[in-house]
């Protein structure tokens, strides 16, 4: 889907630096899947390359190499930059209230719900059993030996952010309530604001896919599986990707 004609038509592709998926999803990271989805919706030419965390401008994934060689981090800042420089606005059809709603929903998912997912994957033993195996196949050997240390840092981050201070019951109650609120706003869809997809659908997609792809019997995943509108939205958004982006499971 391309909202408006690009301002610049001939240029090298944007390089999207992100890790692969391990459970049949395009990437292990919800923010990376959000950005990849947005790029596919926008029609902007891009290539995927593995990340080099020593070069990641914010020390996080995803980041991109722009056609002039500049490195830019943060999925949202990348989207805003590319929208400006390529004259693409996937939200052109939204009114001011819808744009405000999209912003608040995005911030809720990315700054709140995300950490309930991190808790499920990295801290909950049912999640860690699978995440550890997947990360061990993703990281080069010397780094994979540091997985217990990486996990300890995740525990510290989730505690500092606040989510890690709650009981697992409270964390998962919050996760379920967030997803229920999103399902209520999504309604019958097919997209968040009705008939036409917009940027918030890419955000939702990344986090739906991440929750549903993990092989563990985790509370957020089980809740999404019981919410047909969210699974249907994930499936609908997959249509923006070529089928080979959903490879067979490599690890569980």
The partner residues of 14 in beta bridges, in order of sequence, read: 46
Under rule CB under 6 A, residue 31 binds ligand GSH? yes
Stretch that binds ligand GSH, among 23-31, 80-88, 126-134, 193-201 (CB under 6 A): 23-31
Q: Does residue 187 come out as left (phi exceeding 0), alpha (psi in the -120 to 50 range) or beta?
A: left
Cα(159)–Cα(59) distance, integer angstroms:
19
Q: Which two tokens stand for residue 41?
A: 């919706």
Binding segment toward ligand GSH, per CB under 6 A, in 74-82, 165-173, 214-222, 234-242? 74-82
Whether residue 127 contacts residue 91, with contact meaning beta carbons closer than 8 Å, is answered with no
229 binds ligand GSH (CB under 6 A): no
Q: Can residue 61 be called a binding residue for ligand GSH (CB under 6 A)?
A: yes
Instruction: Answer yes or no whether residue 89 interacts with ligand GSH by CB under 6 A.
Output: no
136 to each of 22, 51, 62, 140, 185, how far by Cα in Å? Answer: 11, 16, 20, 8, 38
Site residue total, ligand GSH (CB under 6 A): 10
Q: Does 131 bind ligand GSH (CB under 6 A)?
A: no
- Burial of 126 by CB count in 10 Å (0-12 exposed, 13-18 middle, 19+ buried)? middle
Tokens (6 digits) for 184: 């209520």
**195's tokens:** 């008939």
> Would you give the distance in Å from CA 111 to the centre of its chain?
12
- Cα distance between residue 240 and residue 143, in whole Å: 34
Least distance in angstroms from the C-beta of 59 to ligand GSH: 6
What is the Cα–Cα distance from 170 to 109, expressed in whole angstroms? 17
29 forms part of the interface with ligand GSH (CB under 6 A) = yes
Residue 46 or residue 196: which is nearer to ligand GSH going by CB? 46
Among 74, 151, 241, 247, binds ligand GSH (CB under 6 A): 74
Among residues 118 and 230, whose Cβ is nearest to ligand GSH?
118
Least gap, CB of 28 to ligand GSH (angstroms): 8
Kindly give, in sequence order, each residue whose CB lies less than 8 Å from that of residue 179, ignoring residues fewer than 6 positions away. Answer: 113, 211, 220, 223, 224, 227, 230
151 binds ligand GSH (CB under 6 A): no
The one among 15, 76, 89, 251 contacting ligand GSH by CB under 6 A: 76
Supply the minimum distance, in Å, between the C-beta of residue 57 and ligand GSH: 10
Binding of residue 81 to ligand GSH (CB under 6 A): no
Q: How many CB atoms lie within 10 A of CB 55?
A: 12
Which residues, numbered 181-200, are part of the site for ligand GSH (CB under 6 A)? none
Q: According to the binding rule CB under 6 A, does residue 75 interact with ligand GSH?
A: yes
Question: Taking contact as CB under 6 A, which single stretch among the options 70-78, 131-139, 160-168, 224-232 is the one that binds ligand GSH?
Answer: 70-78
Shortest Cβ 38–ligand GSH spacing (Å): 11
List residues near ligand GSH by CB under 6 A. Answer: 29-31, 59-62, 74-76
């Amino acid at each position: 889907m391309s909202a408006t004609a690009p301002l610049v038509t001939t240029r090298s592709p944007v390089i999207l630096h992100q890790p692969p998926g391990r459970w049949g999803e395009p990437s292990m990271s919800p923010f990376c899947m959000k950005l990849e989805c947005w790029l596919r919706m926008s029609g902007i030419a891009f290539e995927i390359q593995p990340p080099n965390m020593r070069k990641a401008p914010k020390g996080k994934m995803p980041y991109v190499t722009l056609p002039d060689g500049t490195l830019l981090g943060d999925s949202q800042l990348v989207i805003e930059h590319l929208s400006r420089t390529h004259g693409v606005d996937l939200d052109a059809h939204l009114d001011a209230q819808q744009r405000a709603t999209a912003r608040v929903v995005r911030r809720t998912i990315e700054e709140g719900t995300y950490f309930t997912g991190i808790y499920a994957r990295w801290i909950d033993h049912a999640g860690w059993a699978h995440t550890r195996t997947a990360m061990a196949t993703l990281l080069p050997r010397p780094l994979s030996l540091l997985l217990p240390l990486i996990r300890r840092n995740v525990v510290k981050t989730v505690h500092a952010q606040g989510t890690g201070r709650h009981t697992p019951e409270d964390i998962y109650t919050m996760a379920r309530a967030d997803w229920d609120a999103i399902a209520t706003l999504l309604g019958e869809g097919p997209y968040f604001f009705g008939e036409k997809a917009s940027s918030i659908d890419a955000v939702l997609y990344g986090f739906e896919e991440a929750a549903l792809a993990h092989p563990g019997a985790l509370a957020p995943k089980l809740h999404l599986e019981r919410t047909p509108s969210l699974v249907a939205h994930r499936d609908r958004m997959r249509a923006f990707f070529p089928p080979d982006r959903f490879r067979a499971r490599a690890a569980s």
